Amino acid sequence: MVIIRRNPDGSIASREGEELQTQSHPALSTRGGMRAAAEAGRALPPLMSEIATKVNNAKDKPRKLKVLKDHDTVPLRQVLKGAFDPKVEWLLPTGDVPYEANEAPLGTDHTLLSREAKRLYLFTKGGDNTLSSKKRETIFIQMLEGLSAEEAEFLVTVINKKVNNVYKGFTANLVREAFDWDDNFMKKEKKPSFPV
């Protein structure tokens, strides 16, 4: 008979007769390995809806700015520019969108807004003039149905330019300050400094 037990260090110790053999089993994770996996976090990047919720839940402006700066990515900037820049005109009907929410668990059967952000130009004035209105709306509904329910709802608030109505304190001024944008939602140009 073989008795197998786990040592405090995570290795496997088996006792065959009187002889004790310590070995590591490849199918079992050690405590150190489990701790490292937990520290590595999840495989998915944070959803934009989660970032918006963090901004909403932050108690004051410095914390809200920190959330945006900590999650600063090109796709997030693209989406927020579309949400707040008055020059970005969406060629989609405003209001509720008739789509079926994707109820699949996170990380399984849906796309991410951070990956779909590069296609948002299709829905803006001057983006793709070859699309008919019907085709544009169909593509948008397909995009929403591919996203998780939370991200789809967030994208609808972006298209309707109502982010501040849903997520308190998530304003154009906050976004401009977090990303160091000027009033035109462009990166501020640094003036050359000359030695005195």
Mean pLDDT, all residues of the chain: 80
Average confidence (pLDDT) over 109-128 = 87
Does pLDDT of 88 surpass 80?
yes
20 forms bridges with which residues in the sheet?
15
pLDDT in the model for residue 5: 67
Q: In this structure, are 28 and 65 located in the same domain?
A: no
Q: How many domains does the chain have?
A: 2
* Domain presence at residue 196: no
Q: In this structure, are 27 and 83 located in the same domain?
A: no
Average confidence (pLDDT) over 163-173 = 90
* Domain presence at residue 103: yes
* Domain presence at residue 189: no
Enclosing domain of residue 35? 2-40
Q: Which of 17-26, 112-121, 124-133 has the lowest mean pLDDT?
A: 17-26
Q: Of all residues in the chain, what percent carry a pLDDT higher than 90? A: 41
Stated pTM of the model? 0.71
| DSSP per-residue letters across the chain | -EEEEE-TTS-EEEEETTEEEEE--TTS--HHHHHHHHHH--SSPPPHHHHHHHHHH-SSHHHHHHHHHHT--HHHHHHHHHHH-TT--B-S--S------B-SPTTSS-B-HHHHGGGGGGGBTTT-TTS-HHHHHHHHHHHHHHBBHHHHHHHHHHHTT-HHHHSTT--HHHHHHHHTB-TTSSBPPPPPP---
